[in-house]
Chain A
């Protein structure tokens, strides 16, 4: 559709907005384009202004209040001297690494099974894999708490890791399966014709071609794990507070500009991973 529409650049002040201009005979969309533009701009402002203000105030040289007192990097400097916060961040990274490794292996295997084989219980599996989307996080969290308590498993590293794998794995599965669906099977057949056995074909052909999907899924799994608060809150144990749990208890104690600084850094971190993941997903499978 976009190929047949010409574009006009409307200059508003010093910024440019590009709108598709329909050929004259194209039906006009009502309510008018101006209304659509304004609603869209307002919506994106609504989504981004609070975040932008938080970031701005993480550089504010004032202990309380929202009056601008001048630029400082002091709050960021304090973060790197705050042992409790650094420990929490380290724990988050450890959990996220373990959870990513686990969910990538399990998610990829499940995607291969679901996409490459025909079997009767597929609807059941679809349902099972959708559970993390349907079950509210709070229910998932408390049910895992009950489960670990009933099984007398001490809460801490292990319970965090297995729970994070459980809610991240379906997202890796979806990302990898989307890539598998685009897969050109004739490449695998060519490998087999050239004498490669099944395992060699998988290692040398299938896996490298799936890699962008797998890496993209891994980045999402990592973000999900680093960002998770609710489920971690219920399954964590003594000495295993993650970064979001640290932020939560800091918020409960009363806000300091340090919380703004750590929040800004966490946002930047996950936004970077998301952008990387999306760029990888865009790459076509050949």
Chain B
């Protein structure tokens, strides 16, 4: 009898997990494995992936052009992560100290951009910063500038776009960890003679580290692979990994090379995730 209950339980479990497992393996894991395989292939006359196997695609990525591209993308994404962290921390801190009713309203205000259309939000920012957009029109009409300022198509524009797009993804996890924060810890630190800076560095930051890490990964990963932001804010003049991948699968039709870059991007992202889980686990062990 006991045996049959156990058997029935595991059958139920199998039935429950099978569709999800099937779907994620077939439409997430397997395609990624395919990227790996195709990154070692060459192209036939119709630019379709073909045998023989080759390392040429990876050799091509060692071209200074692509090394710089990777460095630029990673650098800009790290900068985005840092800036969003610096903005989001005080915002989350303020939110966490509000009365409950106001906390709920503010959370809702962060959640709306979190979930709404990324393309449209980025376009709204681009519209604002256009040569004939509202900012330039306003500045021209009050006479602060004589001709429209060129704000788009610069690395700065892409940075602003990334910060704008990813900010909600930093605020939310920070807020979640600060909301649970035990404020008497601050009191204890100050009673023991710590000044504001020491309290921040030795009490607040370590205790909110899980939120900081989660936010950083949620910002860094989409930034380093971003396509919409580079395309809209960079105006075709700025290039990042995501845009190059899209080009290889679009006009250039060089799938094996596009796969090789995708795989390198996956390695960057996986390293970031590993750092996250490593430090994350260390933190949990320490507390």
Binding site for B on A (CB under 8 A): 1-2, 5, 7, 18-20, 26-27, 29-31, 33, 35-37, 39-40, 43-44, 46-51, 53-54, 57, 64-67, 105-107, 109-110, 112-114, 117, 119, 125, 128-129, 131-140, 142-147, 150, 162-163, 165-166, 169-170, 173, 220, 223-224, 226-227, 229-230, 234, 244, 247-248, 251, 255, 259-260, 263, 266-267, 270-271, 273-275, 277-278, 282
6 intermolecular pairs with C-beta atoms under 8 Å apart: A40-B90, A51-B113, A113-B13, A117-B13, A146-B34, A146-B255
**Which of B34, B117, B196 interacts with A31 by CB under 8 Å?**
B196
Known A40-B91, A146-B255, A147-B30: A113·B16 in contact at CB below 8 Å: yes
B17 adjacent to A110 (CB under 8 Å): yes
Interface locus among B50-58, B59-67, B258-266: B258-266
Interface locus among B124-132, B149-157, B205-213, B278-286: B124-132
B17 adjacent to A113 (CB under 8 Å): yes
Known A142-B35, A143-B32, A251-B232: A39·B21 in contact at CB below 8 Å: no
Interface residues of B in 146-199 (CB under 8 A from A): 164, 167-168, 171, 183, 186-187, 190, 196
* B-side contacts of A40, CB under 8 Å: 90-91, 94-95
With A135-B32, A169-B20, A278-B111 known, 12 other A-B pairs at CB within 8 A are A29-B97, A47-B110, A128-B29, A133-B221, A142-B245, A143-B34, A143-B35, A165-B27, A173-B20, A227-B117, A259-B123, A275-B112
Residue tally, chain B, CB below 8 Å to A: 92
A65–B190 Cα gap in the complex (Å)?
56
- The chain A residue with its CB closest to the CB of B107 is A278
B190 adjacent to A251 (CB under 8 Å): no
A81–B229 Cα gap in the complex (Å)?
30
- The chain B residue with its CB closest to the CB of A173 is B20
A147 adjacent to B31 (CB under 8 Å): yes
A66 adjacent to B132 (CB under 8 Å): yes
**Which of B116, B186, B262 interacts with A142 by CB under 8 Å?**
B262
A31–B218 Cα gap in the complex (Å)?
27
Q: How many A-B residue pairs have C-beta atoms within 8 angstroms? Tell me.
A: 258
Tell me, yes or no, whether B72 is within 8 Å of chain A by CB: no
**Which of B121, B227, B259 interacts with A146 by CB under 8 Å?**
B259
Known A227-B116, A266-B120: A139·B32 in contact at CB below 8 Å: yes
- The chain A residue with its CB closest to the CB of B197 is A30
**Minimum distance in angstroms from B35 CB to a CB of chain A:** 5
B132 adjacent to A64 (CB under 8 Å): yes
* A-side contacts of B114, CB under 8 Å: 274
A271 adjacent to B34 (CB under 8 Å): no
B186 adjacent to A137 (CB under 8 Å): no
A125–B124 Cα gap in the complex (Å)?
38
A113–B246 Cα gap in the complex (Å)?
37
A133–B273 Cα gap in the complex (Å)?
10
Tell me, yes or no, whether B71 is within 8 Å of chain A by CB: no
* A-side contacts of B143, CB under 8 Å: none
* B-side contacts of A51, CB under 8 Å: 113, 121, 124
* A-side contacts of B15, CB under 8 Å: 109
**Minimum distance in angstroms from B197 CB to a CB of chain A:** 9
B228 adjacent to A229 (CB under 8 Å): yes
**Which of A43, A50, A119, A234 interacts with B91 by CB under 8 Å?**
A43
**Minimum distance in angstroms from A142 CB to a CB of chain B:** 5
Tell me, yes or no, whether B145 is within 8 Å of chain A by CB: no
* B-side contacts of A227, CB under 8 Å: 115-119
**Which of A129, A131, A142, A255 interacts with B258 by CB under 8 Å?**
A142
Residue with the greatest number of chain A CB neighbours at <10 A, chosen from B120, B164, B270 = B120
A117–B38 Cα gap in the complex (Å)?
38
* A-side contacts of B34, CB under 8 Å: 143, 146-147, 150
The digit string for B69-109, where 1 denotes a CB below 8 A from any CB of A, is: 00000000000000000011011011101111011100011
A146 adjacent to B38 (CB under 8 Å): yes
**Which of B123, B171, B224 interacts with A54 by CB under 8 Å?**
B123
**Minimum distance in angstroms from A52 CB to a CB of chain B:** 9
